[in-house]
Amino acid sequence: MIEISEQYMQKNDTCFNFALTERLKQDKPGNVLCNVRLNKYPVKELCVYETLDYYLRATEKLRNSSTFLISCIKPYKPVTLSTIGMGAGSKLC
C-alpha cells in the first residue's frame, strides 16, 4: 500500500509524506484514504525519518518497482501481504 514514486511520496528536510494507494482492511466504505507523515526526530538513533532515508538509499539499486518494501533475497521483488504476514516462527530475511 505504500509506493515511493513521486506521485505518492514526498520528502523534504523535515518529513516524509505518503499517500496510501489502497484502502485498509478495517476502513469503512466511503472513508477517504489518509496520508501518512513521518517527521524528523532530534535523536538520530530513534528517528524514523533517518531510518527510512537510509533504507531507501540502501535498496535503491536493488529496486525494480516503486513498491516500498522489497524482499532481502534475490531477485529483490516487492513483498506481498502473504510474505509480510508469515507466522511468528518464520523468517523474512
Q: Phi and psi dihedrals of 46, rounded to 5?
A: -110, 5
11-40 average pLDDT score: 78
DSSP letters, 11-27, are E-SSEEEEE-SS--TTP
- Burial class of residue 7 (count of CB atoms within 10 Å of its CB; 0-12, 13-18, 19+): exposed
With residue 67 as reference, give the H or E element that holds it. none
- Mean pLDDT, residues 85-89: 53
Using left for φ > 0, alpha for ψ between -120 and 50, and beta otherwise, residue 12 falls in: beta
**Mean pLDDT over the full length of the chain:** 80
What confidence tier does 57 reach under pLDDT thresholds 50, 70, 90?
A: very high
Tell me the one-letter amino acid at 87.
G
Confidence label for 7 from pLDDT (cuts 50, 70 and 90):
confident
| Residues 6 or more apart whose Cβ sits within 8 Å of residue 3 | 9, 18, 21, 66, 67, 68
In the block, which residue shows the cell 506481498?
Answer: 80
